[in-house]
């Protein structure tokens, strides 16, 4: 292929859409639907719970209130004067509030059917929409339905528009469930006529203007307080053969006592010659039911479907929240224990007492082997000088060859390196072909069999090369991951990344070594045996995460990959959210590519494929994808319920993370004071990371080709080549360690 043809191909590839945006619309729609479902479910469930009867202010006065207090339990407030009706002797109207409930309502219906009794159920619209089959059963068995609002709202405290909406939504729920409307209403938190307050009287007038008959009660069993079956039965029994409207509850908590009391009450009343009727039948009125038209039935059906869907979504999200929290906690504790075991084993291997360190090669090396350090560099003029100088200043006693592979840079990367005129440093220029291509050129040009790869924005400490090579004394080890440190950690973004590197990367690598499933030897610092590289054919450009791809291939080839925490490399982390997004987007997308490429490892002998790919899929793909639901559910639970449990759970997780971070920082010899940014990290950095995963998964699913995302180099370590001109952004620990010699 000619150079001109190759350029045209590259142009076409470059112009290919590589960064899909349409999925953000789908994500937004999904978030809106999820929020809508939670709002609907929260609206319906917010007022539901164990009902109670507040203390009534029966001494306040208003025109007409005494007529209501002296009247019966069924009140018509449509006219100028209140009209009320009573239940005749030897008649009871059993009424049940707050249902229907999927457990207790069917049991009560069975009891009523067995006794041949009829009752009136004042249903909450939100529950009626969720349990339409129970509404249909009530109507089919001759029971009566009353309106108890949609959310069990206290109508004395709601504006008129809210009152109308509560009643109207319940009517629609009944229309969708059984094709009916009802003329009966009972105000939540109301009781007997003699306890009506002025506020309740005004609400009753408003309900009368809407065409409702207001139902109160003669006998309030207060079964919601669970006083015992005998006490409930005593409270529900009419005195001296009189008639009564009796109030029970079939939802809002454990109603086992209510079920037992109703069964015993009906048996007792039957012996006394009582008849149990619906409320309107008991007071001599026509049925409260009216037929809903087709449009109302359709609207009610849609409302019922939406309500049940919202309940299902809320339930599913609650399970997701619980599972995600449990997995996260288990992972933290499990990896913390593995990190402790790794650190203990490493100390024993070095013959060190806890808290002490010493440098040097493993005794199995007869002499320090020669090493080639490969630095792939593309437009790295901002930091290449600091990188090369740190490599030259090593205290490693063996021969060190340094190859800087200039991958078609358009800046002065090669010129700056050559101008240093350092012994053992060689610059190799090539046309731009990508980082894997540059590394393969370096491998081919290297004169030695132990190869160390380092990025062009990274600097080594003097002891780093020696500590890396020490691990390769074991012939079964094919690669060694070093310990990457954030050098520019003075800003908030830098501090967040510092915490992430220590806890999320370096702590994990300790565990990965013990589990035999190291996923990545970072491009910033890694040592390799040439035989291991040859066994997998060198680096591949199949993915944008060439380091992860290479590590997985080496593990699959049967080599051990280990972690050396003392091999420190200081790297320049992105200094802005935009730059951080570009870097993590490439990392995440490349990791997905590598997982797909090496998916066959799952069925291969050995633990690597199942452990590594299973872990990555669970904790780096699925859980981040579910993370938005965790946040939404946390906000939802705070708004519609008691916020203290949510705050307590969040504080608990932050505490566990802080303890884990403290131990990880201690293992790395870092200051624990860095943890003060951890709580803030939960509100910005975490969300950015899971949005990166969403973007990466969408890009992979849509089959778009992502270009290499370069980030701007700030030259964090360039001033550190002279300790007297260190920038404020450079971590002092780096400067101190870099100039010990």
Asked if 182 and 146 touch (Cβ cutoff 8 Å), the reply is: yes
State the pLDDT at residue 313.
85
Asked if 430 and 438 touch (Cβ cutoff 8 Å), the reply is: yes
Euclidean distance between CA atoms 160 and 128, whole angstroms: 23
Euclidean distance between CA atoms 624 and 274, whole angstroms: 63
Bridge partners of 429, per DSSP, are 406
| Nearest one of 596, 621, 620, 619 to 609, comparing CA atoms | 596
| Nearest one of 214, 194, 192, 191 to 202, comparing CA atoms | 214
State the pLDDT at residue 507.
85
Could you list the active site residues?
97, 249
Euclidean distance between CA atoms 214 and 136, whole angstroms: 23
State the pLDDT at residue 37.
80
Q: Which residues, 6 or more positions from 109, have their beta carbon under 8 angstroms from its beta carbon?
A: 134, 137, 138, 141, 143
- pLDDT tens profile 109-134: 999 999 999 999 999 999 999 999 99
Euclidean distance between CA atoms 501 and 514, whole angstroms: 19
Stated as kind and residue range, the H or E segment containing 119 is strand 119-123
State the pLDDT at residue 8.
37
State the pLDDT at residue 396.
94
N residues, the chain: 741
Euclidean distance between CA atoms 522 and 548, whole angstroms: 8
Euclidean distance between CA atoms 306 and 245, whole angstroms: 35
- Backbone phi, psi, residue 227, to 5°: -80, -5
| Nearest one of 430, 706, 690, 403 to 545, comparing CA atoms | 706
Euclidean distance between CA atoms 683 and 36, whole angstroms: 23
- pLDDT tens profile 680-733: 888 888 888 888 998 888 888 877 666 665 655 555 665 444 433 333 444 545
State the pLDDT at residue 717.
64
State the pLDDT at residue 10.
39
Asked if 555 and 476 touch (Cβ cutoff 8 Å), the reply is: no
State the pLDDT at residue 270.
95
- Structure tokens given for 400: 């060190």
E strands of 184-233, at which residues? 184-185, 213-215, 219-220
State the pLDDT at residue 364.
60
Does this model's pTM top 0.85? My answer is: no
Average confidence (pLDDT) per 10 residues, the chain, 741 residues = 38 45 70 79 60 50 85 90 94 96 96 97 95 97 96 92 95 96 95 91 93 96 94 95 96 94 96 96 96 95 91 85 87 89 82 44 71 95 92 94 95 94 94 94 96 94 94 94 89 88 86 91 95 96 93 95 93 86 90 94 89 92 87 81 82 88 88 88 87 87 67 57 40 47 35
Q: Is 178 exposed, middle or buried (0-12, 13-18, 19+ CB in 10 A)?
A: buried
Euclidean distance between CA atoms 221 and 77, whole angstroms: 26
């Amino acid at each position: 292929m000619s150079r001109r043809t190759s350029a045209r191909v590259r142009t076409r590839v470059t112009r290919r859409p590589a960064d899909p945006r349409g999925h953000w619309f789908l994500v937004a729609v999904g978030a809106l639907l999820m929020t809508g479902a939670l709002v609907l479910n929260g609206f319906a469930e917010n007022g539901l719970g164990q009902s109670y009867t507040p203390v009534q202010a029966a001494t306040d006065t208003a025109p007409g209130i005494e007529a209501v207090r002296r009247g019966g339990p069924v009140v018509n407030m449509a006219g100028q004067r209140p009209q009320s009706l009573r239940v005749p002797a030897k008649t009871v109207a059993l009424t049940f509030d707050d249902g229907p409930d999927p457990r207790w309502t069917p049991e009560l219906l069975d009891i009523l059917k067995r006794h041949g009794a009829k009752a009136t159920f004042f249903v909450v619209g939100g529950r009626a929409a969720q349990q339409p089959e129970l509404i249909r059963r009530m109507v089919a068995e001759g029971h009566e339905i009353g309106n108890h609002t949609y959310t069990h709202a206290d109508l004395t405290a709601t504006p008129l528009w809210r009152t109308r909406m509560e009643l109207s939504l319940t009517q629609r729920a009944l229309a969708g469930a059984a094709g009916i409307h009802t003329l009966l209403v009972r105000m939540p938190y109301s009781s007997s006529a003699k306890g009506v307050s002025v506020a309740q009287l005004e609400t009753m007038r408003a309900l009368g203007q809407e065409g409702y008959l207001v139902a109160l009660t003669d006998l309030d069993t207060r079964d919601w307080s669970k006083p015992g079956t005998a006490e409930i039965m005593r409270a529900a029994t009419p005195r001296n053969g009189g008639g009564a409207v009796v109030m029970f509850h079939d939802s809002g908590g454990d109603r086992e006592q209510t079920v037992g009391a109703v069964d015993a009450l009906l048996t007792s009343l039957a012996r006394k010659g009582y008849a149990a009727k619906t409320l309107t039948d008991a007071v001599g009125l026509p049925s409260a039911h009216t037929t809903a038209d087709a449009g109302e039935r359709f609207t009610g059906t849609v409302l019922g479907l939406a309500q049940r869907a919202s309940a299902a979504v809320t339930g599913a999200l609650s399970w997701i929240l619980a599972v995600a929290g449990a997995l996260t906690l288990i992972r933290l504790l499990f990896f913390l224990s593995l990190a402790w075991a790794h650190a203990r084993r490493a100390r024993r291997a070095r013959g060190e007492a806890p808290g002490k360190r010493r440098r040097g090669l493993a005794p199995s090396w007869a002499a320090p082997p020669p090493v080639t350090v490969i630095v792939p560099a593309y437009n790295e003029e901002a930091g290449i000088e600091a990188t090369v100088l740190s490599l030259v200043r090593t205290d490693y006693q063996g021969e060190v060859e340094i190859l800087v592979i200039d991958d078609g840079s358009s800046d002065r990367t090669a010129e700056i390196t050559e101008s240093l005129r350092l012994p053992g440093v060689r610059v190799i220029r090539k046309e731009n072909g990508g980082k894997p291509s540059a590394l393969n050129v370096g491998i081919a040009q290297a004169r030695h069999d132990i190869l160390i790869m380092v990025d062009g924005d990274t600097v080594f400490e003097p002891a780093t090369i020696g500590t890396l090579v020490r691990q390769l004394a074991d012939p079964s080890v094919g690669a060694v991951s070093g310990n990457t440190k954030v050098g520019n950690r003075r800003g908030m973004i830098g501090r967040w990344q510092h915490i992430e590197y220590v806890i999320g990367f370096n702590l994990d690598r300790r565990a990965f070594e013990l589990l035999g499933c190291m996923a990545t030897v970072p491009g910033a610092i890694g040592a390799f045996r040439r035989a291991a590289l040859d066994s997998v054919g060198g680096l591949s450009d199949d993915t944008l995460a060439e380091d992860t791809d290479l590590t997985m291939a080496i593990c699959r080839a049967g080599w051990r990959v280990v972690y050396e925490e003392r091999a420190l490399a200081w790297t320049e982390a992105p200094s802005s959210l935009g730059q951080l997004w570009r870097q993590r987007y490439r990392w995440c997308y490349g990791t997905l590519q590598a997982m797909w490429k090496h998916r066959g490892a799952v069925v291969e002998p050995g633990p690597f494929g199942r452990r590594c790919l299973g872990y990555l899929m669970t904790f780096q793909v699925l859980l981040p994808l579910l993370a938005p639901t965790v946040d939404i559910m946390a906000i939802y639970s705070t708004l519609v319920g008691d916020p203290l449990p949510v705050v307590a759970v969040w504080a608990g997780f932050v505490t566990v993370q802080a303890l884990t971070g403290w131990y990880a920082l201690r293992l790395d010899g870092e200051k624990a004071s860095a943890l003060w940014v951890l709580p803030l990290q939960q509100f910005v950095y975490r969300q950015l990371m899971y949005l990166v995963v969403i973007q990466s998964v969408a890009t992979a699913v849509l089959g778009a080709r992502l270009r290499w995302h370069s980030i701007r180099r700030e030259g964090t370590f360039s001033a550190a080549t002279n300790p007297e001109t260190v920038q404020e952004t450079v971590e002092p620990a780096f400067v101190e360690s870099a100039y010990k010699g």
